Amino acid sequence: MTLSLQNSNKNLISELQITGSKSESNRLLILQALYPDIQIENLSNSDDTTVLKNALEKGSGVIDIHHAGTAMRFLTAYFASKEGCDVEITGSKRMTERPIRLLVDALQRMGANIEYKNEVGYPPLLIKGKKLHVDSVKLHANVSSQYVSALMLIGASLPKGLEIILEGQITSTPYILMTLEIMQHAGIKGTFKDDRIYIEPAKSIAPATIAVESDWSSASYFYSIAAITDTAEIKLSNYRKTSRQGDSCLAEIYKHFGVETEFQENSIVLKKQEGTRSSRICEDLRNSPDIAQTIAVTCLALGLECKLEGLHTLKIKETDRLQALKNEMEKFSAKVEITNDHLHLLPCKSLNENVEVETYNDHRMAMAFAPLAQKVPLSIKDADVVSKSYPDFWKDLKKLDFLVR
């Protein structure tokens, strides 16, 4: 499905409720499978959460998790530690190109029975679950924090708990902290200090109801919309000032674009007044890789120079996001330089109209480019990719006066 987009309203006022965080939801579903006394409120309606939920219900045979990185990594650890289970976990073509060796190596050192069906280091995986007894493991932490979270999530179910020693520079740290905080909220004890994580064993936990906060990465598109328009007041419900999600750093980052965040009880209001904004944006996004595309496109729309670093994980996400950003921004007449971990967008004076944006099976390519329709009419190819994290995205855009056809 290709959608054409346009929005000429420069004064946006609206109220939305975005679905629950897929990161929080997927952690809670794994914990609930291990500790059934956990109740979850406001579970995400994203594909990534649905595939994980279905996989846990199925529990055997061939399990296809499509594009969902967290589902692939968390389920690998979960099934490997579940005695008697016999599964093949596979996913989309792209998933078979996303590395998983560091996690599999660590689990194998803990005694897990995991084999690669095709290429060593990549899904599909053949897993025969068994009791894991080793209580300390080393893990390289500079490729994906999801490997770390996967081990943490099963840690408390092991007889002696689990110590994880992180090697190398730690990437996406807020996601590791999110895992720990959610486990602590569920009553599991654990610590994360310097390069050492320790999760205490827990045979059972007291009943707990845990509410998922709405998704901050999804909120980024509304920050971008507010930044690009003249004036805006957009209320997003089910957000907290003290969030477990690292992408809540958006509230600080978008001040540079003149967007202020008012924290109300259980919601945020994004307020944009005309005028105020920086002339150049420089950010290190090692801790928040998922908002890189949003920020780059906001800068493109506003003709700002943008230097982003700490982007070394972008190449192994749903697509090579650095190359995809360069390809698509250049269609609008931008000049973009990329390296392995860095993107430099030069100020762009005028934007080409009616560009067809390719999305490369990446939900964030579709959603990050949509706000640009406030400057020039454009179209988004394969627009239904958004369902990976935010199935109602196009419906919600219409509430902000976007013409979506």
Ligand X SMILES: C=C(OP(=O)(O)O)C(=O)O
Active site positions, annotated: 290
Kindly give the pairing relationship between strand 378-380 and strand 355-357.
parallel
Q: Specify the DSSP element, H or E, that contains 192.
A: strand 190-193
Minimum distance from residue 391 beta carbon to ligand S3P (Å):
16
Look at residue 175 and give the partner it binds from ligand X, ligand S3P, none, a contact being a CB closer than 5 to 8 Å depending on partner kind.
ligand S3P
Among 89, 364, 383, 385, contact with ligand X (rule: CB under 6 A) = 364
Cα end-to-end span (Å), the chain: 10
Give the binding range for ligand X (CB under 6 A) out of 13-21, 62-70, 111-119, 165-173: 62-70
Shortest spacing between CB 364 and ligand S3P, in angstroms: 9
Residue 338's φ and ψ, nearest 5 degrees, are -130, 150
Between 108 and 147, how does the x/- string for binding to ligand S3P read (CB under 6 A)?
Answer: ------------------------------------xxx-
Q: Which stretch binds ligand X (CB under 6 A): 37-45, 66-74, 135-143, 179-187?
A: 66-74
Query: Which parts of 163-202 interact with ligand S3P (CB under 6 A)?
Result: 171-172, 175
Contact pick of 14, 81, 313, 387 for ligand S3P (by CB under 6 A): 313
The two structure tokens encoding residue 86? 């016999």
Strand 267-272 versus strand 259-264 pairing type: antiparallel
Q: What backbone phi and psi angles, to 5 degrees, belong to 120?
A: -60, 130
Beta strands 305-309; 336-338: pairing state: unpaired
Supply the Cα-derived Rg of the chain in whole angstroms.
21
79 or 198: CB nearest ligand X: 79
Other Cβ atoms closer than 10 A to 140 = 18
Q: Which residue, 181 or 290, is less far from ligand X as judged by CB?
A: 290
Q: How far is the CB of 388 from ligand S3P (least distance, A)?
A: 10
Q: Does 218 bind ligand S3P (CB under 6 A)?
A: no
Q: Coil, strand or helix: which one is 208?
A: strand
What string marks each residue from 103 to 132 as x (binds ligand X by CB under 6 A) or -?
A: ------------------------------
Stretch that binds ligand X, among 61-69, 224-232, 233-241, 337-345 (CB under 6 A): 61-69
**Sign of the Cα pseudo-torsion (148, 310, 98, 319, in order):** positive
Tell me the window of 64-72, 99-107, 227-235, 368-376 that interacts with ligand X (CB under 6 A): 64-72
Instruction: Output the six-digit token pair for 52.
Output: 């994980």
Token readout for 343 is 């993107």
Sign of dihedral through CA atoms 199, 200, 204, 210?
Answer: negative
Choosing from 70, 76, 374, 387, the residue that interacts with ligand X (CB under 6 A) is 70
Q: Is residue 214 a contact residue for ligand S3P (CB under 6 A)?
A: no
Interacting residues of 169 by C-beta distance below 8 A, sequence separation 6+: 141, 142
Strand partners, 269: 235, 262
Please name every residue paired with 193 in a beta bridge, in sequence order, or none if there are none.
196
Which of 240, 275, 202 lies closest to 37, judged by CA? 202
313 binds, among ligand X, ligand S3P, none (CB under 5 to 8 A by kind): ligand S3P
The entry of ligand S3P, ligand X, none near residue 172 (CB within 5 to 8 angstroms by kind) is ligand S3P
- Please give the C-alpha separations between residue 270 and each of 235, 249, 256, 262, in angstroms, as whole numbers: 6, 14, 13, 7
Question: At its nearest, how many Å lie between ligand X and the CB of residue 281?
Answer: 20
Q: Measured from the CB of residue 363, what is the shortest distance to ligand X in angstroms?
A: 7
| From candidates 140, 389, 400, 402, binder to ligand X by CB under 6 A | 389
Query: For the chain, what is the total number of helices (H) and then of strands (E)?
Result: 12, 22
Residue 68 binding partner per list ligand S3P, ligand X, none, with a CB distance cut-off of 5 to 8 Å that depends on partner kind: ligand X
Give the residue nearest to ligand X (CB).
69
Residue 59: what residue type? G
> Residues touching ligand X: how many (CB under 6 A)?
9
Q: Is position 290 an interface residue for ligand S3P (rule: CB under 6 A)? A: yes
Q: How far is the CB of 247 from ligand S3P (least distance, A)?
A: 9
Whether the link from the prior residue into 124 is cis, omega within 30° of 0, is yes
- 3-state DSSP assignment of residue 169: coil
CA distance 327 to 318: 16
| Positions that interact with ligand X (CB under 6 A) | 67-70, 290, 317-318, 364, 389
| Positions that interact with ligand S3P (CB under 6 A) | 23, 70, 144-146, 149, 171-172, 175, 289-290, 313
